[in-house]
């Protein structure tokens, strides 16, 4: 980074002449939040206004951080153009603050003879005058390409711009969830009670006293993106998806065609909207894990993995990647939210719901590969259903036995690739599982029901799944209950024992394994929520009377004989384990 041109500057100097500070495409959008905004206003109030004498704001200095820029050729000779490599949040916030001050001065112009002069001075700092311009966006001095430019323009000029970008920007713009608008509302509320002289003090603090270090880069010597990645912006490090976006779009950025903006809107942002902001990085992690020897790491490790694999990313490869990112969103949602995003095949949907209840997201790359292969017809529906079912059986068996699942990260990502060409894909799946020693033999699975707790308050969906599936296996006439009405898990022997139950159990009440046995399958049933709340500490015989015949599990309890102790629980666990062996068996 060059140092000979590094100087201290004010925002008054930055905005004095016709200029466009362009946020390059590899930057994130405006991201400052309440914490940063409050800090700025507190600094202005205490560090500048509170210390300045005789309104000589030019003599006060408050360091506001660096701004790293790269000068680019401008299509308009009287308009300088700089890419903001670092300092976007600072320069954008200050620019918006000036816009808020100007708007408030216009509202209060009738209260002060100086207001119009102040407004004119602000207008000169905020607005470019470009002769012959056909795009109103040239009027603004801070220009973003990721949905921020429309609210920035509106903050100064109120209405919409006459611009070829307007339609795209209106699609991206959400006034309720836009940081630009959030800051405008915050700053307006903060400054509105002030009179004209007080507003002018804020203005002078911003343009005269806030000092930045101006660091210009040389395009022929400096790697702007590398410098950008190495910098943190006011304690807000870039996320993995932001870094990835920057990297993918680097070979696509074209100022003449603006194709990168269309691709960003139609592919990247579309994918982000489909899977949701909170799930997007996990989605990318699962997507880039497909076919790999090991599941890709979280957060920045995901970005580093992609960057290493695509050292020489071409425009063509970048476009293929963006299409892939969009293409897999549907199958990810069908896996991640199978009830909300239902697969059209009922059997596949049902299996995805049950697999989701096992809470094993580490197998998502394999599931995504299966569903996508089915979607593009390289895997038949019959094979898709069969592979999903066998996977489901494996997951339940290992979870019930609490066996380690760390091997999933190395086993599942490339599994489909190794079996897709086999004539009998299910048999090939079985072979792979057994070769890696992941299969759970019947005896170990059966024994786990006696010694492992099926009930887990942190994984109630899985606990319900096990009980419901066993209940289905117990039904003799094929008519199943409505499990949406009997979804509450009842502990026959209460989890916390009162005086009656302690006396009833005798020595068993002090058994060292009682807390675990209480949560085993033999001590559990299903009931409606309203009924379950009434059972509590009631004696066993009373529970038997009040249990309904709504499901096979409760009917099974009603026919059991007293006493209900450790031996009775273990006997029932053995009986239900036999049913579990039939429910969760491979189709060989």
What 3 state SS string does 263-274 have?
HHHHHHHHHHHH
Chain centroid to Cα 65, Å, comes to: 30
Domain range annotation of the chain: 7-236, 453-583
CA distance 371 to 547: 42
Are 564 and 493 contacting, i.e. CB atoms less than 8 angstroms apart? yes
Three-state DSSP state, 10: strand
pLDDT of 82 > 50? The answer is yes
Residue keyed to tokens 């603006």? 258
Residue keyed to tokens 């109103």? 136
Structure confidence by residue, pLDDT tens digits, 481-511 = 889 888 899 999 999 999 999 999 999 999 9
CA distance 284 to 332: 10
218 vs 15, higher pLDDT = 15
Question: Which whole-number Å values give the CA distances from 364 to 282, 288, 372, 429, 511, in the listed order?
Answer: 10, 11, 12, 16, 41
Name the DSSP letter for residue 47. I
- Averaged pLDDT, 203-229: 82
CA distance 272 to 326: 9
Side by side, the strands of the sheet bearing 62-72 are 7-10, 210-217, 62-72, 80-86, 19-22, 142-143
pLDDT of 146 > 80? The answer is no
Mean per-residue pLDDT of the chain? 91
Q: What is the pLDDT of residue 76?
A: 84
- Averaged pLDDT, 405-424: 95
Structure confidence by residue, pLDDT tens digits, 221-233 = 766 666 666 655 4
Percent of the chain residues past pLDDT 70, beyond the cut:
96
Total-model pTM? 0.80
Residue keyed to tokens 């890709």? 296
Percent of the chain residues past pLDDT 90, beyond the cut:
71
Q: What is the pLDDT of residue 234?
A: 47
Select from 31, 19, 133, 29 the least CA-distant residue to 69: 19
User: In the beta sheet, which residues pair with residue 524?
Assistant: 491
pLDDT of 471 > 80? The answer is yes
pLDDT of 1 > 50? The answer is no
Q: What is the pLDDT of residue 78?
A: 85
Structure confidence by residue, pLDDT tens digits, 513-558 = 999 999 999 999 998 877 777 788 899 999 999 888 889 999 999 9
Q: What is the pLDDT of residue 229?
A: 65
What's the pLDDT band for 6 if we cut at 50, 70, 90? confident
Chain centroid to Cα 24, Å, comes to: 24
User: In the beta sheet, which residues pair with residue 9?
Assistant: 212
């Amino acid at each position: 980074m060059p140092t000979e041109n590094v100087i201290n500057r004010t925002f008054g100097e930055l905005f004095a002449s016709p200029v466009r500070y362009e946020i390059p495409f590899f930057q994130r959008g405006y991201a400052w939040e309440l914490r940063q905004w409050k800090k700025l206003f507190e600094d202005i109030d205490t560090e500048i206004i509170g210390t300045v004498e005789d309104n000589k704001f030019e003599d006060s200095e408050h360091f506001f951080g660096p701004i790293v820029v790269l000068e680019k050729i401008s299509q308009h000779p009287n308009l300088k153009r700089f890419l903001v490599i670092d300092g976007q949040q600072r320069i954008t916030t200050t620019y918006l603050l000036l816009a808020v001050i100007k708007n408030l001065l216009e509202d209060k112009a009738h209260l002060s003879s100086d207001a119009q002069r102040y407004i004119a001075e602000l207008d000169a700092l905020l607005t470019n005058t470009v002769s012959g311009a056909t795009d109103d966006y040239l009027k603004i001095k801070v220009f973003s390409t990721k949905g921020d430019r429309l609210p920035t323009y509106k903050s100064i000029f109120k209405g919409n711009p006459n611009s070829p970008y307007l339609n795209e920007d209106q699609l991206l713009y959400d006034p309720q969830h836009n940081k630009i608008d959030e800051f405008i509302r915050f700053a307006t509320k903060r400054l509105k009670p002030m009179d004209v002289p007080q507003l002018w003090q804020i203005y002078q603090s911003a343009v005269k006293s806030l000092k930045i270090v101006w660091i210009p880069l040389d395009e022929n010597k400096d790697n702007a993106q590398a410098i950008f990645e190495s910098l943190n912006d006011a304690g807000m490090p870039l996320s993995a998806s932001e870094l990835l976006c920057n990297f993918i779009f680097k070979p696509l950025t074209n100022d003449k065609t603006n194709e990168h903006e269309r691709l960003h809107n139609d592919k990247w942002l579309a994918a982000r909207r489909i899977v949701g902001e909170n799930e997007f990085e996990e989605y990318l992690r699962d997507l880039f894990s497909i076919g790999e020897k090991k599941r890709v790491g979280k957060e920045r490790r995901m970005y580093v993995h992609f960057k290493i694999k695509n050292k020489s990313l071409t425009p063509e490869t970048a476009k293929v990647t963006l299409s892939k990112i969009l293409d897999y969103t549907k199958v990810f949602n069908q896996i991640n939210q199978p009830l909300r995003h239902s697969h059209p095949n009922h059997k596949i949907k049902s299996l995805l719901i049950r697999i989701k209840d096992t809470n094993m997201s580490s197998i998502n790359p394999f599931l995504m590969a299966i569903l996508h292969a089915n979607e593009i017809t390289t895997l038949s529906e019959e094979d898709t259903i069969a592979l999903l079912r066998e996977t489901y059986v494996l997951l339940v068996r290992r979870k019930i036995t609490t066996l380690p699942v760390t091997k999933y990260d190395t086993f599942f990502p490339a599994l489909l690739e190794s079996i897709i060409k086999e004539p009998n894909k299910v048999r090939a799946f079985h072979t792979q599982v057994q070769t890696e020693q992941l299969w759970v033999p019947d005896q170990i699975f059966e024994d786990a029901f006696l010694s492992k707790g099926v009930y887990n308050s942190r994984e109630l969906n899985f606990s319900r799944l096990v009980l419901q599936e066993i209940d289905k296996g117990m039904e003799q006439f094929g008519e199943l209950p409505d499990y949406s009405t009997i979804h509450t898990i009842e502990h026959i022997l209460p989890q916390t024992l009162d005086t009656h139950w302690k006396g009833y159990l005798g020595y068993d009440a002090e058994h060292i394994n009682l807390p675990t046995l209480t949560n085993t399958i033999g001590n559990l049933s299903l009931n409606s929520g309203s009924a379950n709340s009434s059972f509590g500490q009631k004696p066993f015989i009373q529970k038997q009377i009040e249990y309904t015949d709504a499901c096979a599990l409760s009917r099974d309890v009603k026919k059991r004989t007293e006493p209900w102790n450790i031996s009775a629980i273990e006997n029932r666990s053995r009986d239900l384990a036999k049913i579990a062996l039939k429910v969760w068996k491979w189709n060989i």
